[in-house]
Structure 1
Amino acid sequence: MSEHVLVINAGSSSLKYSLVDAKSGEAAATGLVERIGEDQSHHVHHGPHGDADDDHPVADHEAALEAAVRAFETHGPALGDVDIVAVGHRVVHGGDQFAAPALVDDDLIAAVTDLVPLAPLHNPANLEGIEVARRLLPDLPHVAVFDTAFHQTLPPYAYTYAVPSAWREEYGIRRYGFHGTSHSFVAGQAARLLGRDVRDVNLIVLHLGNGCSATAVRGGTSVDTSMGLTPLEGLVMGTRSGDLDPAIHGHLARVAGRSAEETDRALNSESGLKGLSGANDFREVSRRRAAGDERARLAFDVYCYRLKKYVGAYYAVLGRVDAIVFTAGVGQHAADVRAAALHGLEGLGIHVDPVRNADPDDGFASTEDSPVAVLVVPTNEEWEIARQAVEVLASR
């Protein structure tokens, strides 16, 4: 018997949804409402009875979810005809309060509201999605799944910043990490590819999309991760800088008169691949690089060099590595990134096979005799959210 979960990911001006079978991972329907609150919103729905692709004003998230329900009725499957056991919500920041998914109640809403200062761009939108869904679907249990939860297993020496104690104690300044739902799912899938229990393997998981993060996974638990208090730290990303000297804020304030807000905005929205090459889409960076664009070439080199540094660092953290795992859009599709990031690491037992890497249809991009496997694993955060939601219900 299937156990369907309606998975909702509410952004500041978008609502992404998927009806997922928690057992098989199969999505019966998916949809996205974009540009909520603008004059012309966009809604696409893919269902078993056809697709919808409409442009019309959607005033708010409640109207967006109402549009989604209508699309289910028209293009299938009708929600009343499906055995939906829960609504699963992606919540970006759970602070140090949520190390696991949790049933939504008034106490959870209050706790996530208190965490808004740690994720001012994300948690308010996530909360709005939860509130709207609870009003429109009051008879279903709602479960919050936190991006940060998987990383709550980090030891104190890995999550603690060397800053004044008052910052840590009063303002929650520490490493939290993100993309946890993806890292958790991919670690499990990687272990299955290796034919081993996830509790017996050590992995370095590289989630490379517009946002990028690396995680050291020992026996199925996160022991270090590249993103920190915010998703800005770590790898070079589409528009985020990743690691940099923290004194840059003060330097720019002194020499350029830039405020902290201006610098934060630039580091999050105008840096990374975009700042280096003028394009944040890796496909466009690759096209320009192939055409001889020097800025794109430098962007590629910086991106891959940062990856290599984290692979080496996390190899040292783990001591033994069974696989390097690439996932998300760039990780799955950019064979040149995988090759460049791992080039020269043969001394660590990492041997990339050029033929398999070009088309890793079985999930392997390494040579048959490579001591450390190189894997390419598609992520599926919606399935992981659905699975975790069902686990919460089962534990009640």
Structure 2
Amino acid sequence: MRTQVAIIGAGPAGLLLSHLLHLSGIESIVLESRSRADIEATIRAGVLEQGTMDILTNAGVGARMKAEGALHHGVELAFGGRRHRIDLTELTGKAITVYPQHEVIKDLVAARLAAQGQLLFEVSGVQLHGVDTATPSVSFVHGGEAARIDADFVIGCDGYHGVTRPAMPPQGREDFTRNYGFGWFGILVESAPSSDELIYARHDRGFALVSTRTPTVQRLYFQCDPADHVDNWSDDRIWAELHARLESNDGWRVNEGRIFQKGIIGMRSFVSTPMQAGRLFLAGDSAHIVPPTGAKGMNLAVSDVNVLAQGLEQYYRQGRDDRLQGYTDAALRRIWRAEYFSWWMTSLLHTFADATPFQREMQRAELECVVSSRAMATALAENYVGAF
């Protein structure tokens, strides 16, 4: 097979890049190790910044997001038995939409198939060849048969555990990592929403988060040991922990319901640079990971491929590659700011096993400053909605 751009990975980054290229008249083929059913059923959180919403809308894949997503104009910080609202729209003029990642994937798959885009699911044995030359290729197995794609460029959108980042040359490569020593225990619950907006709660027992999925499904999280196991947590124990961490002096309580999904996710920050070498480029989780506290993961992936699509369009339309050559620097400016915000939110709201009493009081004092200072609340709001 021959194409202009070979894309490894059919997550939000790979699918959106393929669609943006299609809108610019650039051919691509997307390879994915999982089935279509698998990628559309993998439930992931989704808080979309204003810029992400605009990119999806302008690409013609935002109709269902607008119809079914929950537009939020604020978030709440809870600590000391009280909740404090940060008015995102009043402070920044922007908002966020809660719309799960797997729904974005469904929209993008539908758009690519409607445009006769080439999506190859359930491929295995992916290997990259000649990415340091002008004629890179990708070999793989599909439907039990060996195959190869010759391309002008190869784009790695295959996540942290994918094959593309290890294919980057080691010379000059640098990885930045922060492991936080705790995780999030997440549940999906059949119940009416407990709140119209997200609640980020800091408690001495640990962090907790109240979110929504639909008018009948809640998504709730609480800080836990990443080595713990869901079997150690009965429904009664989960509700007792959430009530304890989310307790409010005004009598508000989280709504209970049938828990139909449980899982534990780790918390880490990670950046690998450079994000390009020869004709190989990385985007999304292939190059960086953020803790979910800042709600930046999918937004960074969208930002990466938006920059990359512009560079590829310039290359094919104008015969210039200055945007492609500057891709890493352009992407990293956005990435490091999101890494900072995610680290800051994580540090602000979680309990740390090695924290001294002084450090805990500093954490409480910082929260008080955020909710009482318009300047600090604006800084949080600007970073949260991506207004920078």
Tell me if both proteins adopt one fold, taking TM over 0.5 as the criterion: no
TM-score interval, smaller chain? under 0.3
Structure with more of its chain in strand, by fraction: 2
What is the TM-score with the length of structure 1 in the denominator? 0.26
Which structure would you say has the larger RCO, counting Cα contacts within 8 Å and 6 or more residues apart?
2
